[in-house]
């Protein structure tokens, strides 16, 4: 499980540039992930061997330049509640603005580690100007230039030093699978769990955000045993009418990172909204198994929209990762709830399946021979050998003479073939090409 670091500050101080720098540092090590990254506000970073999740609060504000201070205040409050450390970014060119002072006032009440990053300091003159930020009353500051990265090393050294130690996960003989139920507020997550458990373990109300923290329930019925996690909705103080995307995503981060399968509940009466998509891509990016449940199906006028049309519409939004189970359920009438659980168990099994190297070569090499990668600049790519990597999630490597010439469309072709032959429904797959 990772620490969460939130980057806060008013608009246009360079939060996103700095955020991208942190994320790229991580992705340069790992490998670029196929498919489009839809969600620019969350990522993982690593420094000095310590991994942490980063949230850029800035990307969530929607509105014009005169952004409402109330919106920023809410984001800072949420970051204070949810993050383990906070980077407060300010801009040396503009000095301390009233909005910076307002954010600092909120942060002074907090006991969590807070680091001030004074951005756009790219010469000695500005280094002197930065001294005024001592007046924020938050202690020492770090001068950085987000564009070229100078100064970020010292800031990150300090960050990993002050991040709290996380408790080690308790090792069980064979840890139980963790299924987390995620979704926008009021999609029916707690009702779903109550219906399964057959007792009102969670308070269910119509106020979005009654569930305050992720709660674990050990579930053992009908031959299934696993931990069922009801993720936090949103604290009541975030007004229901306002745009809640930032809050539900931030709340879901921890639960998703720490689970095996995510059961994403969407409200049939509202459709598959931007917020649902953000949570979906968050689970996909973390390589978790995914099951989508369209809840409250009993409330939808069936003549206007059949399950087939509704499903097609959702799959269109999920491209290129469309091999995901979608079930239509009702937590109220308990319709198809056990089917939903069975599907989650199947996805869990799919995610941990291992294919022997000989069998994998036997099935994939003839396909590659029939449909080789397109030649590029007159060079022909030859793939001679492939295998599944011994990783916790399905990853496959293909050894080729010219791996750099294999483009994304061909990777997707191979992924589709793989999915047709082996059952990886609901599970993101990584495909790599390496020099043989």
How many Å apart are CA 349 and CA 427, to the nearest integer? Answer: 10
120 is in an annotated binding site: yes
Peptide bond before residue 416 is cis, with ω within 30 degrees of 0: no
Long-range contacts of 309-315 (CB under 8 A, 24+ apart): 310/268, 313/271, 313/272, 314/266, 314/272
Residue 118 lies in a domain: yes
139 is in an annotated binding site: no
236 is in an annotated binding site: no
241 is in an annotated binding site: no
Q: What is the pLDDT of residue 159?
A: 92
User: How many domains does the chain divide into?
Assistant: 3
pLDDT range class, residue 335, cuts 50, 70, 90: confident
**Residue that terminates a domain, selected from 131, 162, 193:** 162
Residue 234 lies in a domain: yes
Q: Rounded to 5 degrees, what are φ and ψ at 268?
A: -60, -30
377 is in an annotated binding site: no
**Residue that terminates a domain, selected from 322, 351, 380:** 351
User: What does DSSP assign to residue 371?
Assistant: S
- Lookup: tokens for 123: 């010469």
Tens-digit pLDDT profile for residues 23-52: 774 443 233 333 333 344 677 888 888 888
Residue 220 lies in a domain: yes
| Same-domain status, 311 and 188 | yes
* Share in percent of the chain as helix, strand, coil (round to 5): 35, 20, 40
How many Å apart are CA 336 and CA 181, to the nearest integer? Answer: 16
pLDDT at 82 over 60: yes
14 is in an annotated binding site: yes
How many Å apart are CA 78 and CA 238, to the nearest integer? Answer: 9
| Same-domain status, 396 and 310 | no
pLDDT at 359 over 70: yes
57 is in an annotated binding site: yes
How many Å apart are CA 33 and CA 26, to the nearest integer? Answer: 12
**Residue that terminates a domain, selected from 315, 336, 351:** 351
**Residue 305: helix, strand or coil by DSSP?**
coil
More confident residue, 251 or 370: 370
233 is in an annotated binding site: yes
pLDDT range class, residue 69, cuts 50, 70, 90: low
| Same-domain status, 32 and 88 | yes
Tens-digit pLDDT profile for residues 157-179: 999 999 888 766 544 445 778 88
393 is in an annotated binding site: no
CATH number at residue 381: 3.30.300.20
Residue 171 lies in a domain: no
More confident residue, 425 or 26: 425
Question: Dihedral, CA atoms, 160, 161, 166, 168, nearest 10 degrees?
Answer: 100
More confident residue, 39 or 323: 323
pLDDT at 65 over 60: no
How many Å apart are CA 208 and CA 187, to the nearest integer? Answer: 9
| Same-domain status, 182 and 306 | yes
Residue 120 lies in a domain: yes
Domain range enclosing 294: 178-351
- Lookup: tokens for 436: 């043989």
Percent of the chain whose pLDDT exceeds 90: 17
400 is in an annotated binding site: no
The chain-wide mean pLDDT, for the chain, equals 79
121 is in an annotated binding site: yes
| Same-domain status, 325 and 299 | yes
406 is in an annotated binding site: no
- Out of 66-80, 119-133, 312-326, least confident range: 66-80
- Residue 203 pairs with which residues in a beta bridge? none
More confident residue, 395 or 16: 395
60 is in an annotated binding site: yes
> Are the C-beta atoms of residues 58 and 7 closer than 8 Å to each other?
yes
276 is in an annotated binding site: no
How many Å apart are CA 39 and CA 137, to the nearest integer? Answer: 34
187 is in an annotated binding site: yes
- Residue 293 pairs with which residues in a beta bridge? 265, 327
Residue 173 lies in a domain: no
What Cα–Cα distance (Å) separates residue 414 from each residue in 226, 315, 387, 406?
33, 20, 13, 11
| Same-domain status, 204 and 72 | no
- Lookup: tokens for 420: 């047709």
Tens-digit pLDDT profile for residues 277-316: 888 888 888 899 999 999 888 887 776 668 888 888 888 8
295 is in an annotated binding site: yes
> Are the C-beta atoms of residues 179 and 194 closer than 8 Å to each other?
no
122 is in an annotated binding site: yes
Q: How many whole angstroms from its chain centre is CA 57? A: 14
297 is in an annotated binding site: yes
| Same-domain status, 209 and 298 | yes
Residue 169 lies in a domain: no
| Same-domain status, 184 and 157 | no
Long-range contacts of 271-274 (CB under 8 A, 24+ apart): 271/313, 272/313, 272/314, 272/317, 273/184, 274/245
| Same-domain status, 266 and 380 | no
CATH number at residue 100: 3.40.50.300
Residue 170 lies in a domain: no
| Same-domain status, 45 and 134 | yes
| Same-domain status, 9 and 65 | yes
97 is in an annotated binding site: no
| Same-domain status, 234 and 347 | yes
Tens-digit pLDDT profile for residues 220-271: 766 777 887 777 543 334 443 444 556 666 667 777 888 899 999 998 888 8
Tens-digit pLDDT profile for residues 83-134: 889 999 999 988 888 888 888 988 888 888 999 999 988 888 888 888 889 8
Within 8 A by CB and 6+ apart from 116, the residues are: 88, 89, 90, 133, 136, 138, 139, 140, 141, 142
By the 10 Å C-beta count (0-12 exposed, 13-18 middle, 19+ buried), 17 is classed as middle
pLDDT at 207 over 70: no
16 is in an annotated binding site: yes
């Amino acid at each position: 499980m990772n620490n969460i670091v939130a980057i806060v500050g008013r608009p246009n101080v360079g939060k996103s540039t700095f955020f991208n720098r942190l994320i790229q540092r991580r992705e340069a090590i790992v490998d670029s992930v196929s498919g489009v990254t839809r969600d620019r506000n969350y990522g993982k970073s690593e420094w000095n061997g310590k991994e942490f999740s980063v949230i850029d609060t800035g990307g969530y504000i929607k509105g014009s330049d005169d952004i409402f201070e109330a919106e920023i205040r809410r984001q800072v409050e949420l970051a204070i509640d949810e993050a383990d450390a906070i980077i407060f970014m300010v801009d040396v060119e503009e000095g301390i603005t009233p909005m910076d002072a307002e954010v600092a006032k909120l942060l002074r009440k907090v006991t969590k580690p807070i680091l001030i990053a004074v951005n756009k300091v790219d010469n000695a003159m500005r280094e002197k100007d930065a001294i005024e930020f001592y007046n924020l009353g938050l202690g020492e500051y770090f001068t950085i230039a987000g564009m070229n990265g100078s100064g970020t090393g010292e800031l990150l050294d300090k960050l990993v030093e002050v991040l709290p130690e996380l408790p080690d996960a308790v090792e069980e003989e064979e840890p139980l699978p963790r299924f987390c139920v995620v979704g926008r507020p009021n999609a029916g997550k707690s009702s779903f769990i109550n219906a399964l458990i057959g007792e009102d373990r969670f308070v269910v109300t119509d106020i979005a955000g009654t569930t305050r923290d992720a709660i674990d329930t050990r579930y053992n019925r009908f031959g299934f045993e696993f931990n069922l996690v009801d993720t936090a909705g949103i604290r009541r103080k975030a007004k229901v009418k306002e745009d809640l995307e930032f809050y539900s995503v931030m709340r879901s981060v921890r639960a998703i990172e720490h689970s095996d399968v995510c059961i994403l509940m969407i409200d049939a009466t509202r459709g598959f909204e931007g917020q649902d998509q953000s949570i979906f891509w968050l689970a996909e990016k973390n390589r978790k198994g995914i099951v989508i449940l369209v809840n409250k199906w009993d409330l939808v006028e069936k003549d206007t929209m059949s399950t087939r049309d509704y499903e097609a519409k959702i799959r269109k939004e999920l491209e290129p990762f469309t091999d995901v189970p979608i079930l239509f359920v009702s937590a109220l009438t308990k319709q198809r709830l056990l089917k939903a659980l069975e599907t989650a168990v199947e996805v869990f099994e799919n995610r941990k399946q291992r294919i022997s190297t000989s069998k994998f070569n036997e099935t994939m090499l003839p396909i590659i021979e029939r449909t080789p990668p397109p030649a590029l600049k007159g060079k022909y790519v030859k793939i001679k050998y492939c295998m599944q990597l011994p990783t916790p999630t399905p990853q496959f490597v293909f050894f080729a003479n010219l791996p750099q010439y294999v483009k994304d469309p061909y990777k997707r072709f191979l992924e589709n073939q793989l999915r047709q032959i082996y059952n990886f429904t609901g599970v993101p797959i990584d495909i790599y090409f390496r020099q043989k």
